[in-house]
Structure 1
Amino acid sequence: MIIRPAQAGDATAIAEITNAIIRETLITFTTIERSLDSIASDINARGAAYLVAEVERQVLGFATYGPFRSGPGYSQSREHSVQLSPKARNQGAGRALMTALEDVARSEGVHVLVAGISSANPGAVAFHAALGFEITGQMPEVGFKWGKRLDLVLMQKILAQD
């Protein structure tokens, strides 16, 4: 397995992964599928902070981060996303992506990575806990999808001590 920076040409594979998750699961609260152009734009804008896991030239997952909240007081905090195709789950791709993403974040001066996780995805809570993230809050019923009200579990990891 290779972990490498995403390229605009990876947008199709990334769209297949993320749009299936949007269509078929409660892992994300969004119902709007991502376009190839929007994904390619994110890849270009985020640079080293957009990684893919590749096996035999096939993208099986990705991890990236973006702003946590607006304003200069949050400039050292980022919210991340890590998503895998079904065939990549439980194969170490998620851990490899997150380890590499944390390294990128540290090199870019990020102090805290935040995870916003759907309560319908307890596996992601366990995954993040195994990586050293801690639950810092739960926001009841802030998500709504498929007629269901869902909680948002907030987790964070402090990457470096000042």
Structure 2
Amino acid sequence: MTGNRGRPSRGRFCDPAVMEILIRPARDEDRPAVLALAARLAEGVASWRDPEAAVDAARQWLDTSLDPARERRGEVFVAVADEQQVVGVVSVNEQRHFTGAMEAYVGDLAVAPAAVRAGVGRRLMTAAEDWARRQGLRHLTLETAAANTTAQRFYTALGYGEESIRYTRVL
């Protein structure tokens, strides 16, 4: 599940010219700020899905990804504004495609509302792509909600192409 939706707020992070962003691997002290971004990942979830369950799932995945004791098959990067406030997060790991090929997979991308349209998402995706290249992986895959047209436009603008469509029927 990947989100990147919302309008830019008029907060202090809106102006890309004054926003100084550092992209770096997440640290344990970033955990509260990263988990606070999980709510952004429920935007665009299908109306028949429980949005709280989506947020809880995102929180759990991010929390597990940040666990320093876990086997490192991936990385979590944060965008830090003004050297102190986490304004974005991306998680990337290795997974096997159904064809058998190993690829990189972005599990979550979230940007704080005040940092939307400041280049934060683009820079986080570049970090995920660079990580994948260093692992020798040839593809980076992600998913986003069908209703999240903002995220779809964002990924298309970055050069991502639609590979599959998932259908669900409420019973």
What band does the TM-score fall into relative to the shorter chain?
0.7 to 0.9
Partner of 1:106: helix, strand, or coil?
A: helix
Looking at structure 1, the residues matched to 33 and 149 of structure 2 have their Cα atoms a distance apart, in angstroms, of 25
Query: Structure 1 residue 26 and structure 2 residue 44: aligned?
Result: yes
CA deviation vs aligned residue, 1:122-155 (integer Å, no higher than 9, x gap):
111111111111111211237x7xxxx9xxxxxx
- Match 2:86 to one of 44, 55, 59: 59
CA deviation vs aligned residue, 1:17-64 (integer Å, no higher than 9, x gap):
11x235x63348661526978644412344872100000200001111
Higher fraction of strand: 1
Partner of 2:93: helix, strand, or coil?
A: strand
Task: State the Cα distance separating 1:65 from its structure 2 match.
Answer: 1.4
Residue type at the aligned position of 2:100: G
**TM-score normalized by structure 1?**
0.73
Pairwise CA RMSD: 3.0
CA deviation vs aligned residue, 1:92-141 (integer Å, no higher than 9, x gap):
00001111111111001122111111011011111111111111121123
- Match 2:105 to one of 59, 69, 79: 79
Show the counterpart of 1:94: 121
Show the counterpart of 1:42: 65
**TM-score normalized by structure 2?**
0.69
Paired residues of 2:79 and 2:120 also in contact (CA < 8 A):
yes
Paired residues of 2:111 and 2:121 also in contact (CA < 8 A):
yes
- Which 5+ residue runs of structure 2 have no aligned equivalent? 1-20
Aligned-pair identity (%):
26
Count of residue pairs brought into register by the alignment: 141
